[in-house]
Structure 1
Amino acid sequence: MVERYIKVENARIWTEKSGQGVPVILISGGPGSCNYLEPVCSLIEDHCEVIMFDPKGCGRSSYDGYGYDLESSLQDIESIREEYGYKKWIVIGHSWGADLGLAYSLLFPQSILGYVSISGTGIQNDRDWKAAYNQKKLLIDELKPDFEFEANEIVHRSLIDSWRSFIKQPLLLKEITQLNLPTLFIYAQNDIRPSWSIEQIHNLINGSRYIEIKGADHYIWLSKKNELAEALRSFIKSFSDPLL
């Protein structure tokens, strides 16, 4: 693995590269969390070149004491792609990182080979969804990875607010139906987050696939890593052009 810091307008973003082949970026959730997707990287790095990163204000990336908006976050991802010299890459996000990956697909379609959502939460701010999640959260002790750094609550709140503004765009759902790229939605059967919001998006995108992994929780690799590896590796293998 090779570490590298990418300079953006108001920060230095920590990144790490491993593997060789078609380029892939992994986007952790939160928002406001450091990178925690090393175990996912280990499942696929023999098939692709993987980039991981800490969002600015999180983990090893610098922080100016303020939050930032969705547009800034998406531009940071695009800056990472440009600095590494990739023409296009596969975008794989987990949880809120999957939602961020969807927004990136909409705003930077020229930069994407394919998009994978793992345990995303969808284009919604629904009371019933939130109530169902909160109820299960009280009843179920969700298995979680060890996070190397504490979450940044200021970054979390600023991005959540920005996301909620973004999803109110009148033409957003129409734009999702017009996405023309390979897409894969992976969900966990035992996730305490309702799946309907992701299933809706899956059904908006022509030709997309939806996989539900039985017996898995939100952080799928902690309990069903072989099943997750099979789904991801199969998707990645379909992109074999070494010049991309």
Structure 2
Amino acid sequence: MEEQFIETRGFRLWTAKQGKGIPVLFISGGPGCADYLEPVASLIDDICEVIRFDPRGCGRSEFDGIGYGVKECIEDIERIREYYKIEKWVVMGHSWGADLALAYAILQPNSLLGFVAISGTGIQNDRDWKRAYQEGLKGQGETCPDSVYFYNKEVHRSLMNSWRDFIKGPNILKEISKIEIPTLFIYGQNDIRPSWPILQIASIIEGAQTIEIAEAEHYIWMQNESILREVLRKYVNKSF
């Protein structure tokens, strides 16, 4: 694995590259979490060149204590792509990282080969969805990587506010429907977050696939790593 710090608008972002093959960027969720997707990267790094990173203010990346928005996230992702001299890549995001990857697919279509959303939450700010999530959290709970509990609260607040503004755009559904790259939505059967927002988005992207992984929660690889591995590898081998 190769680690590099990349300058972006006065900040240094930690990045890591592993494997060889089709270039893939992984985006962790939160928002406000450092990278936690190395276990997923290892599932495909014999057929993909996988790049991971810590967002501004998270983990090993620098931060000035001031929040930022979706626009700055997209700029940072583009800076990483340019640094590694990648013309186009597949972007795979988990949880809120999947939502950010969706925004990237809308705003930077010429940078993409493909888009994979793992356990995304969709373009909604719905009370019923939140109630179902909170009841599930109190009832069955969920298994998480330890690092997820240590997140940057300022980054989290500012990005959630920015995301909610972004999804209010009057043309957001039209823009999503124009995505024309191989697209895959993966979600866990036992995720306490309702899947209907993801299924709605998938239905308006031509050719998009949806796959439910049995007996898996939000962090799918912690319950059903073998099936997730199979699904991701099939997507890469079939699409590129």
**Contact kept in structure 1, 2:90 and 2:115, CA below 8 Å:** yes
Counting matched residue pairs gives 240
Alignment of 1:228-243 (within 5 A): 228-240=228-240
Unaligned stretches of 5+ residues in structure 2? none
Say whether 1:221 aligns with 2:221: yes
Q: Which moves more between the two structures, 142-151 or 14-23?
A: 142-151
**1:236 offset after TM fit, Å?**
1.1
Say whether 1:198 aligns with 2:198: yes
- The CA distance in 1 between the partners of 2:139 and 2:69, in whole Å, is 33
The DSSP-based 3-state class of the residue aligned with 2:122 is: coil
**1:239 offset after TM fit, Å?**
4.8
Task: Give 2:41's aligned residue.
Answer: 41
Q: Which amino acid in 1 is paired with 2:42?
A: S
Please give the TM-score of this superposition, normalised by the length of structure 1: 0.97
CA-to-partner distance for each residue in 1:171-212, whole Å, 9 max, x for gaps?
Answer: 000111111111000010000000000000000101000000
CA-to-partner distance for each residue in 1:6-41, whole Å, 9 max, x for gaps?
Answer: 100031000000000110000000000000001001
How many percent identity over aligned positions?
Answer: 56
Say whether 1:7 aligns with 2:3: no
- The CA distance in 1 between the partners of 2:148 and 2:33, in whole Å, is 9
Alignment of 1:72-111 (within 5 A): 72-111=72-111
- The CA distance in 2 between the partners of 1:60 and 1:29, in whole Å, is 16
Alignment of 1:141-180 (within 5 A): 141-147=141-147, 150-180=150-180
1:24/1:96 CA distance change after superposition, 3 Å: same
- The CA distance in 2 between the partners of 1:7 and 1:182, in whole Å, is 31
- The CA distance in 2 between the partners of 1:102 and 1:76, in whole Å, is 15
**1:238 offset after TM fit, Å?**
3.0
**1:148 offset after TM fit, Å?**
7.7
Task: Give 2:21's aligned residue.
Answer: 21
- The CA distance in 1 between the partners of 2:91 and 2:66, in whole Å, is 27
**Structure 1 runs, 4 residues or longer, greater than 6 Å off:** none
RMSD: 1.0
- The CA distance in 1 between the partners of 2:206 and 2:224, in whole Å, is 28
- The CA distance in 2 between the partners of 1:49 and 1:16, in whole Å, is 10
Say whether 1:64 aligns with 2:64: yes
